[in-house]
Amino acid sequence: MMHSIILLLHQVDIEEKIKNAPDKGYEIGVFIGSMLPFIILVAFAYLIYRYNKKRINRNNK
């Protein structure tokens, strides 16, 4: 529930920034800046998953 509210608030802010963008380069920057934290979080979670999977496999041998 709280996640969806935050997502809606975040989306409105991005749409407002894009609407008031001076040029296309700014729009691309806003898009990349909004997606970058999520991409980093997913990559970090994958690295933790891979590390733990290798550690478990190593202990089972």
As a whole-number percent, the residues of the chain with pLDDT over 90 amount to 26
| 3-state SS track over 4-58 | HHHHHHHHHHHHHHHHCCCCHHHHHHHHHHHHHHHHHHHHHHHHHHHHHHHHHHH
Which amino acid type is present at position 49?
A: Y
Q: Which two tokens stand for residue 1?
A: 């529930």
- 8 A C-beta contact, residue 19 and residue 30: no
Q: Residue 15: is its pLDDT beyond 60?
A: yes
Confidence of residue 10 (pLDDT cuts 50, 70, 90): low
- 5 vs 50, higher pLDDT: 50
If one counts the domains in the chain, the total is 1
pLDDT at residue 1, rounded to an integer: 57
Residue range of the domain that includes 53: 2-60
Q: Residue 30: is its pLDDT beyond 90?
A: no
The model carries a pTM of 0.58
